[in-house]
A and B are shown apart, each in its own frame.
Chain A
């Protein structure tokens, strides 16, 4: 009887071992490591991933606040006009380049209380067509359509995204530097520049390594 009990227990123990055994023994972090957002100057435990909405919001908000403190904007006599020049993407992440400037523009428009005016340069084709219609008399005009009233930009707002990537057996790390500039179009002076940096890192599941 004792032998029978022992054998039964042994069988169950063997089954338990068989079922609970894991084929990924000996593999480091088999379940992967979740993405962790870190400060740019923080030392990471592996390496990172792409540009996401939270980065856009954080970077654009920081830039918008910073621009409002520029003396040429804060103490301007008239209302400075700003044109946007597409951001240059030098990272490994394909992005919608206009989205950063759009976010900065909307932030400034909502918080600057008219301190700056943005020019709708990306709508120039449609605006020129409308002006031609007015000039040709095909549509009405509330002012002399022959006068050049399209405003020139006092400043050009632009930026650049640059990245550094590391990929090792320990994971992938991406550092992205977002830098923006406000350039005086008359003098080419860079009257303001600021940057933000984000570093991310993670490790995929062993099944994908």
Chain B
């Protein structure tokens, strides 16, 4: 999508804040519905943040079906790593809107996600790279790639929430 058709940063920030609110409020099926039918959710390995998922072993490599199932799983009592549920707080910043390719444009932002549960407090800093398309008067996520701003997951132990 070319420079002239890009949405404003304010429009995009509204969308990102809405997404963050859905995750923080555990409305995860609604979060999954933000993705378009080809939607993907990806987290690269911490030692190779610039790698591609077809060749490198990502932490998360979800197609549309799997990301919806991830959302459903996290809402179950049998998702043991998130029962009882974490308190999740997203802070979104450094938002930029850029031209993309095909029918999508690119959005880049930083996120700091706090997670509190069972006497532990974990922090996940991240740079999020989105491919976003317009679907009538709404935005849809074609791809969300979360590049964690940590060297390893030693402090957090696992990644059991949506970033």
Same complex for A and B? Answer: no
Residues of B whose CB lies within 8 Å of any CB of A are none
